[in-house]
Structure 1
């Protein structure tokens, strides 16, 4: 029996007896440097697990400079797809002397018959494999504390409903009898919500009589979720909208209510503590203290295995609240309704995990009058620096007059950039396309975005110029074999993140999609039929993988300044499964770039 480590996927998908069969049925084979292990077109006869050495996956139909499409090192497995497909699509060749464990076809097919999950692993998309990796981490001792798995339906309360004509006194008695903090008010056409605080303010501050109808103190702008949404999403919504409860609706039907206290019974209170500190901050010093705790929250979320999308949503909501609070401290209230503060870049897309440079701008109503505008914008920039948001090296900040203007001025800028179509103009269009309003009047941004869509979405020539940037950086698949030293690595931002973000941004511009998050844009493109749902999911998982690998690298050097944060990932430091996922994710990027090239005629540019 061969002593081989079978503690990694996909061997964890078979039982102990199956793993014993593997050890008894495996052999060891030696391959010399440059020896072909599997030839393209060869019938699959064995599965190989590398013990020592490196193997290249080659496409002999391509030029030598681009023939390498994969690279395998110790712990990697290859040859299974050749068996499942009948023959090998590519050549596998030893790059140096190799020792491999060899599993014969008969044993592999027997394992597939008896363990469907094992067989399915080789047929699954990137998104399924990424989920397996997350589950594996949880089994390895990283507690998820329900972050990913808990659904709203698991902890929603039965709704307490009262007719709109019910008097306030009866509503108070009903709340006390039910030990509830809120009730829903039913009118002929909609539901409203009333809390104990609303009732108290109605009687004490607004002088309502005890006999007044409860509908007079109700709020009808409800924050809603569905029963099947993740509970973590409810927490994000509460943070974003500054509420302590959400109403559960399904296809227009009321299902229940989720209170913040219910959510906290599932989650570590750390995220709420930071949110609470932000909301309770009554000075810039207090706000800065809360802001400084966000890296601590990032570490906690990552340690607990929270799905990256949820973590990004929560941190985007928190950063938005911090910036909104700073705005309220610095900007006089009379200017709030006639202006919109927008954040752009990764913050605008909601994809910022660690704080990065400021990327912000200001939209003013055409009839606004703001004599102290320049001074106030300089003060806001300095305040954000105080809160841990460094100044933008490209000077894309409200302290730069170029990024402050009325609605009409912004529309004129868009027309000028579209006409110029040079690199700087296209960059500015991309920056504006990712803008998200965090303070002031969001309708001003809606007006500017509508003008951006009107100018660009049907302009085929502009879209071609705009999309071209997605192909600027090569996909680093062929670099794997040369990464010998830990200090080397691949630039995951240029090679993986940017092509997905900008390619999806281009498609969103063409389809007039208002969402700014890349993952939300992918969902919208799939619903629109512009992307196959499976491919959209795989692009989203690839982006999440790249972001997580980069975040790990950055958290390891958390003491470094923003400028020193690395976008490079050293392949040799990754686990076997992570290398497999990275390789597959980069193939998806390569495929996406080919699709972009075809759609926007980039092969002729």
Structure 2
């Protein structure tokens, strides 16, 4: 292979892609090509065969000597292996070719020089998981040219800030908008602050009978929806989606500084959120909503391909899903009989962590004055329509079509008390998903009162939290001695990411949040509040959040691939499909999961261990 081709090959192998051209050229001159037959052992040791290998063709299995020769990891083209042994991090690993394999081999002394001369290259092998994951997401964003999505609001072009008193007349307001080339003004009404837009003025003049001398006071919207100038542009999009607005007031620490308009925001990065919202607002039938679900799916795939972190995607998508479900309720409730009934989403939807629609977890809390039989018929129809819109039925029937999850407020409160008085594994699960609930339709105060009943029951039972938290240990972490991955014996060497890592983090954080009175439902927000409560330190909390996001990212990628191939969607990821970097990060991630399990075990003083 020509020297230029060798350099090009190395530039595709992580972390060699971090080396400057001169060092890439040096590395290219120091490698030689080696062939291995199927099942042939690849010689690698610190003393006799100190080499770093880079796979050109074929696959190599990494095994631990003391665990029966099971695969730790599989390395395919453009992967490198052997560094752990050369750096004395793991000394009992063996490697063999799974099929005919061609590798490049680099002497350890060359590898050590590259480490010494290139801090960024060295960091890949020695940084903690938080740094590695940060670099991983930065690389994804750069590769997809989506850095703008994670830029700060302050880089966006802002409309001028125009501040008016609520007594200002319409004519003067229009003149100010025209002079400053804006279509929105900040309005002061004593201590209150609001916003008036050109659309508000048009409605006032054309529909409500105001004239040019009328004060703008009755046309102002309260409160001001705003965002900090240092917040992410993506979060600005999320706020616009959540509140159904196309302008945000931008603030710094002291005051408001300008107006961010959706059209300027959308010009910075192309995505379909605006199109989804437009279709959703105009929807008048269930068929109209069907188009929205497809647009949301396209949006998820697009944002994922752009390298946007999964928990940001989840927040946006869950806002859209909630608006869609509320819209469906309104469309079906033709006679507006159930506008006061409180429709709630629970589980991953309640935590704003569901990206791909997996199954429904929802319920209804209603006032005793509502006709329960008529509501039952409505909820049967509602569940059926949600299924048609791509929200699969819950295997455990945790849906509004189930009478157990369609109760008056009094009956629901009594059911929660009964779950505590007659506990079981199933009832612990019910409490878990209810803790994560958020109101989508109707009076949210009913849900708040129900959660207050739940919290009171916890306070009465000293041992409840320890029993509740024990589910964190329900599934083994798929990692063995010296950090090897333990996979299922199937074609793709798969791992269930939910059981292996996602569920233990979510449930452990949920238990701690319940103990410390954290009202938030999103796991990342809960972690932040637990850091503020000094439950664990900043470094470990950030590490835990980044680990959860990485596991969810891998799960999302797997789900999108399954959907594209029209396969059943599940929580499994095939390690064969992962790059070497992803496999290394997965090992580190499961190490964090195990550390968190030990923390929970010690915190609640479980009998026995992991």
Aligned to 1:260: 262
Gaps of 5+ in 1: 59-63
Alpha-carbon separation, structure 2, partners of 1:456 and 1:568:
34
Alpha-carbon separation, structure 1, partners of 2:422 and 2:360:
26
Aligned to 1:549: 554
Alpha-carbon separation, structure 1, partners of 2:354 and 2:179:
45
Q: Which one of the candidate residues 568, 578, 589 is aligned to 1:585?
A: 589
Residue 78 of structure 1 deviates from its aligned partner by 4.6
Q: Which one of the candidate residues 9, 12, 19 is aligned to 2:14?
A: 9
Residue 110 of structure 1 deviates from its aligned partner by 4.2
Residue 459 of structure 1 deviates from its aligned partner by 4.2
Residue 89 of structure 1 deviates from its aligned partner by 5.2
1:37 aligned onto 2:42: no
Aligned to 1:120: 123
Say if 2:51 and 2:108, in contact at 8 Å, map to a contact too. Answer: yes
Aligned to 2:574: 570
Alpha-carbon separation, structure 2, partners of 1:301 and 1:401:
38
Alpha-carbon separation, structure 1, partners of 2:123 and 2:28:
21
Residue 324 of structure 1 deviates from its aligned partner by 0.8
Q: Which one of the candidate residues 476, 499, 502 is aligned to 2:504?
A: 499
Q: For residues 56 and 151 of structure 1, do their structure 2 counterparts lie closer, same or farther at Cα, with a shift above 3 Å needed?
A: farther
Q: Which one of the candidate residues 126, 134, 138 is aligned to 1:135?
A: 138
Q: For residues 115 and 597 of structure 1, do their structure 2 counterparts lie closer, same or farther at Cα, with a shift above 3 Å needed?
A: same
Say if 1:338 and 1:368, in contact at 8 Å, map to a contact too. Answer: no
Cα deviations across residues 248-294 of structure 1 (Å, max 9, x unaligned)?
22335212211111111112242211121011112222122222322
Residue 302 of structure 1 deviates from its aligned partner by 1.9
In structure 1, the residue corresponding to 2:325 is in which secondary structure?
Answer: helix
Q: Which one of the candidate residues 48, 51, 55 is aligned to 2:52?
A: 48
Say if 2:146 and 2:269, in contact at 8 Å, map to a contact too. Answer: no
Say if 2:71 and 2:485, in contact at 8 Å, map to a contact too. Answer: no
Q: For residues 10 and 120 of structure 1, do their structure 2 counterparts lie closer, same or farther at Cα, with a shift above 3 Å needed?
A: same
Aligned length: 589
Say if 1:362 and 1:404, in contact at 8 Å, map to a contact too. Answer: yes
Cα deviations across residues 371-398 of structure 1 (Å, max 9, x unaligned)?
6222222222222223222222211111
RMSD value, Cα: 3.3
Residue 341 of structure 1 deviates from its aligned partner by 0.7
Residue 359 of structure 1 deviates from its aligned partner by 1.2
Residue 101 of structure 1 deviates from its aligned partner by 3.3
Aligned to 1:527: 532
Aligned to 1:280: 282
1:21 aligned onto 2:45: no
Cα deviations across residues 17-52 of structure 1 (Å, max 9, x unaligned)?
12233344568999985988359xxxx996734547
Say if 1:34 and 1:93, in contact at 8 Å, map to a contact too. Answer: no
Alpha-carbon separation, structure 2, partners of 1:442 and 1:320:
14
Aligned to 1:175: 177
Say if 2:466 and 2:606, in contact at 8 Å, map to a contact too. Answer: yes
- TM-score, scaled relative to structure 1: 0.88
In structure 1, the residue corresponding to 2:52 is in which secondary structure?
Answer: strand
Aligned to 1:61: none
Alpha-carbon separation, structure 2, partners of 1:144 and 1:486:
34
Alpha-carbon separation, structure 2, partners of 1:249 and 1:67:
59
Give the 5 Å matches for 1:128-527: 128-140=131-143, 142-144=144-146, 146-149=148-151, 151-251=153-253, 253-331=255-333, 338-365=340-367, 372-456=374-458, 459-478=461-480, 480=485, 486-527=491-532
Alpha-carbon separation, structure 2, partners of 1:297 and 1:225:
23
Alpha-carbon separation, structure 2, partners of 1:302 and 1:76:
26
Moved more, 495-504 or 531-540: 531-540
1:600 aligned onto 2:604: yes
